[in-house]
Amino acid sequence: MRTVIAVPVKDEAERIGTCLTALLRQREVQANAIVLVVNNTRDATAAIARGVSADIGWGGTTRVEVIEVEFPPERASAGSARRMAMERAAELAGEGGVLLTTDADGRVPPDWLAANLFHLRRGADAVAGRAVLEPGDAAAIPERLHADDALECAYAAALDEIAAVMMPQAWDPWPRHTEHSGASIAVTLAAYRLVGGMPAAPISEDRRFFAALRVAGVRIRHAPEIEVVVSGRTVGRAEGGMADTIRRRLRRADPYLDDALEPALDFWRRLQGNAVGKRRLVSAEAAVEELAVARWILAELRVEAGLAKVATP
């Protein structure tokens, strides 16, 4: 299968070299092409990208395309750039191909491409990786923000583990994660076309894309071992992105955690009302054990006390 990587880029002269170098130096398997959509940029990003691809890619099999574009103000967003990059990647990948995307401030691991293809070959139609902060940037963030994030992650993991127990999915077994980040996405061309492609949304195009995949019944693997290192800067390139979130939380703690997380009681009632979950609940002793495990997880987290801001309706 042909594999093509799409990257939206804006004013990333300091980081695009690291990003592109990591993509070109993949072990085991190489991408057929990398598409960079350098949009609304005022620095030397495009020239640096071309220089890196010439220095590293001259003897390899990966084709690098650098597309420079100026979106009008009403369309200037990471969503527009990622969609353009993904659409060009789809053209290059062709029938039966695989599309991948990451962020221009990201550094993928040497086995990133191989790891994503592994899960696609095992039955997934799309793969969601995780974004982790650059250690130096993470160290500069106050501990209280890390503590809030840890609490949020623990709550999300608890709900997801309950769902994995009650409604197991062969293509997405536990352990897994709950992130839907543009830092690491892989999808078959067929699944991509099924949902109409990447939405050109001004913010959260990555989450909207995964939401569309889920509604369409696409098999998504949330691979916990696939991690992409991204910046923890407070002045970002995409409105509504991670940098905005960090900066907002530095000024004042959010009154609520991630709005993608359900209150615990709502989650439990929905799970009980699900047809598959209901069948499992009445399946003799095994169901009793599953129910006990699920309640134990919530009790251990002290949901009602420690996470009241997301755990109560």
Percent above pLDDT 90 for the chain: 59
Clarify whether residues 69 and 166 are in a common domain.
Answer: yes
Q: Are 6 and 99 in contact (CB under 8 A)?
A: yes
**83 in any annotated domain:** yes
Output the pLDDT for position 281.
Answer: 47
Per-residue pLDDT averaged across 25-49, rounded?
A: 96
Are residues 297 and 196 part of one domain? Answer: no
For residues 122-132, average pLDDT: 97
Residue 38, Cβ neighbours under 10 Å: how many?
27
Is residue 153 domain-resident? yes
Q: Same structural domain for residues 194 and 300? A: no
pLDDT reported for residue 151: 78
- CA torsion angle for 231, 107, 33, 101 (degrees, to 10)? -50
Domain co-membership, 205 together with 74: yes
How many domains, in total, are found in the chain?
2
In this predicted structure, the answer to whether residue 21 has a pLDDT above a threshold of 60 is yes
Give the other-Cβ count within 10 Å of 200's Cβ: 19
In a domain? residue 257: no
**Inside any domain, residue 300:** yes
Co-location of 146 and 53 in the same domain: yes
**Sequence-ordered alpha helix ranges (H) in the chain:** 16-24, 45-57, 78-93, 112-121, 135-139, 143-166, 189-194, 205-215, 242-251, 264-273, 275-281, 284-300, 303-306, 308-311
Can you give the CATH number for the domain in which 87 is found? 3.90.550.10
The SS3 of residue 91 is helix
Mean pLDDT computed over 91-103: 97
Residue 100 falls within a domain, yes or no? Answer: yes
Q: CA 152, CA 147: separation in Å to the nearest integer? A: 9
Same domain? For 83 and 228 the reply is: yes
**Which domain, by its residues, includes 25?**
3-251
Q: Is the pLDDT of residue 30 over 60?
A: yes
Domain boundary residue among 251, 273, 289?
251
- Is 289 a member of any domain? yes
Tell me how long the chain is.
313
- Flag whether 78 is in a domain: yes
Same domain, 243 and 268: no
> Do 165 and 293 touch, CB atoms closer than 8 A?
yes
83 pLDDT more than 80: yes
The residue from 230, 251, 272 where one domain ends is: 251
Is 97 a residue whose pLDDT tops 60?
A: yes
Query: How does residue 295 score in pLDDT terms, banded at 50, 70 and 90?
Result: low
182-223 per-position pLDDT tens digit:
999 999 999 999 999 999 999 999 999 999 999 999 999 999
In a domain, 259, yes or no: no
Tell me: do 137 and 242 sit in the same domain.
yes
pLDDT in tens, 105-119: 999 999 999 999 999
Q: Among 152-166, 259-273, 280-294, which is the least confidently predicted range?
A: 280-294
Q: Among 74, 97, 96, 99, which residue's Cα sits nearest to residue 239?
A: 74
- The pLDDT value given to residue 311: 38
Task: Verify that 105 and 244 share a domain, yes or no.
Answer: yes
Which is more confidently placed, 290 or 79? 79
Based on the fold, state whether residues 28 and 98 are members of the same structural domain.
yes
Token duo for residue 290: 């599953």
The per-residue pLDDT for 6 is 98
- What does the pLDDT average to over 50-64? 81
Residues 167 and 307 in one domain: no
Which of 110-119, 161-170, 242-251 has the weakest average pLDDT? 242-251
Residues 268 and 244 in one domain: no
| pLDDT value of position 307 | 42
pLDDT of res. 308: 37
pTM for the structure as a whole: 0.81
Looking at the predicted structure, is the pLDDT value of residue 242 above 70? Answer: no
